[in-house]
Amino acid sequence: MLILSQVYVPDPASVGQHLHDAAVEMVSRGWTVRVLTSARGYDDPSVRYAARETIDGVEIRRLPWSSFGKKSIKVRIVGGLSFMAQAVVRATLSRRPTCILVSTSPPMCSAAALFVSLVRRVPITYWVMDLNPDQVIAMGKVSERSLSARTLNAFNRLILGRSKSVIALDRFMAQRVNSKRDVSDKLEVMPPWPHEDAMDAIEHADNPFRTKHNLNGKFVVMYSGNHSPANPISTVVEAAERLKDRTDIVFMFIGGGLEKQKVEAAIERGATNIVSLPYQPMSELKYSLSAADAHVVTLGDAVVGMVHPCKVYGAMAAARPILFVGPAPSHVSELIDEYKIGWRVEHGDAEGAAGVIRRMADAPESDRRDMGRRATEAIRSGLSKRALCGRFCDVIERERTTA
For the segment 88-132, what is each residue's pLDDT rounded down to a tens digit?
Answer: 999 999 999 999 999 987 777 888 999 999 999 999 999 999 999
With 70 as the cut, is the pLDDT of residue 71 above it? no
- Summarize pLDDT for 245-282 with one digit per residue, the tens: 999 999 999 999 889 999 999 999 999 999 999 999 88
CATH class of 196-382: alpha beta
> What value, to the nearest 5°, has the Cα angle with vertex 223 and ends 221 and 226?
175
Same fold, 2-193+384-398 and 196-382: yes
Tell me the pLDDT of the chain averaged across its residues. 93
| Nearest-angstrom CA–CA distance, 308 and 321 | 18
* Domain range annotation of the chain: 2-193+384-398, 196-382
Compute the distance between CA of residue 309 and CA of residue 226 in angstroms, rounded to an integer. 9
Q: What is the rounded distance in angstroms from the CA atom of residue 395 to the CA atom of residue 116?
A: 20
**CATH T-level fold of 2-193+384-398:** Rossmann fold (3.40.50)
Q: What is the pLDDT of residues 27-63, one digit of tens each?
A: 999 999 999 999 998 878 889 999 999 999 999 999 9
pLDDT value, residue 325: 98
The alpha carbon of residue 134 and the mean position of all alpha carbons in its chain are separated, in whole angstroms, by 17
Residue 403 pLDDT grade (very low, low, confident, very high; cuts 50, 70, 90): very low
pTM for this structure? Answer: 0.91
Residue 353: CB atoms within 10 Å:
26
Residues 269 and 241: their CA atoms lie apart, in Å, by: 9
pLDDT in tens, 301-334: 999 999 999 999 999 999 999 999 999 999 999 9
What is the band of 13 on the pLDDT scale with cuts at 50, 70, 90? confident
Q: How far is CA 285 from CA 5, 197, 292, in A?
A: 22, 10, 12
What is the Cα–Cα distance from 60 to 55, expressed in whole angstroms? Answer: 7
